[in-house]
Amino acid sequence: MKLDILAIGRAKPSPESELVKSWLSRLAHGGALHAFESSLPSGQKRQADESGKIAEWLDKHAPSHHRLVCLDPQGKDTSSEALAELIRQWRDEGVMHCFFAIGGADGHHPDLRRRADRLIAFGQATWPHMLCRAMLAEQLYRAEMILKNHPYHRGN
């Protein structure tokens, strides 16, 4: 299954953006990062604009049988093993592409949250946006390694 990240904000060259590229390049079916921006000031209009851009992109570019996962503070705290199991389940159901959306400072608009097949969180901590991208890319790679019983992931 192809696993892509949809993220708000353009990344400047940085060690974090290199980590994202590295982890995504290791995915079996490749992975991509698609970035979206808004020039609106922070608040509800910006949130709607950012989420609207993600939704519009999905409508134009995503295959009809895909899944959308939004990273959201109110989402279910998800372990590496649980993420791998979710990917396995969808893969076994014939899903060929899954998109993971990272919102901006104002989060995802409720319309995009409702559209998501799953809302997940990586704990209660607030992470810098670029580190969140890197963590997600690594977790997607780790999920693939878990599913392959590769020693990269050594659970407790």
Q: What's the chain's average pLDDT?
A: 95
Checking if the pLDDT of 30 tops 60, the result is yes
- Average pLDDT of 121-126? 88
What is the spatial distance between Cα 82 and Cα 99, in angstroms, rounded to a whole number? 17
* Residue 144 DSSP code: H
Cβ atoms of 100 and 140 within 8 Å: the answer is yes
pLDDT for res 20:
97
pLDDT for res 150:
87
What is the spatial distance between Cα 87 and Cα 106, in angstroms, rounded to a whole number? 27
What is the spatial distance between Cα 96 and Cα 107, in angstroms, rounded to a whole number? 27
- Could you tell me what percent of the chain has a pLDDT over 70? 99
Q: Which of 60-64, 141-145, 150-154 has the lowest mean pLDDT?
A: 150-154
Checking if the pLDDT of 156 tops 60, the result is no
From the list 127, 122, 125, the residue with the least C-alpha distance to 77 is: 122
- Average pLDDT of 71-79? 94
- Average pLDDT of 54-70? 97
Checking if the pLDDT of 154 tops 80, the result is no
pLDDT tens profile 129-139: 899 999 999 99
pLDDT tens profile 101-117: 999 999 999 999 999 99
Instruction: Compare 152 and 94 and report the one with higher pLDDT.
Output: 94
| Predicted model pTM | 0.95
Domains of the chain listed by start with CATH number? 2-147 (3.40.1280.10)
- Average pLDDT of 77-82? 96
pLDDT for res 155:
59
Checking if the pLDDT of 83 tops 60, the result is yes
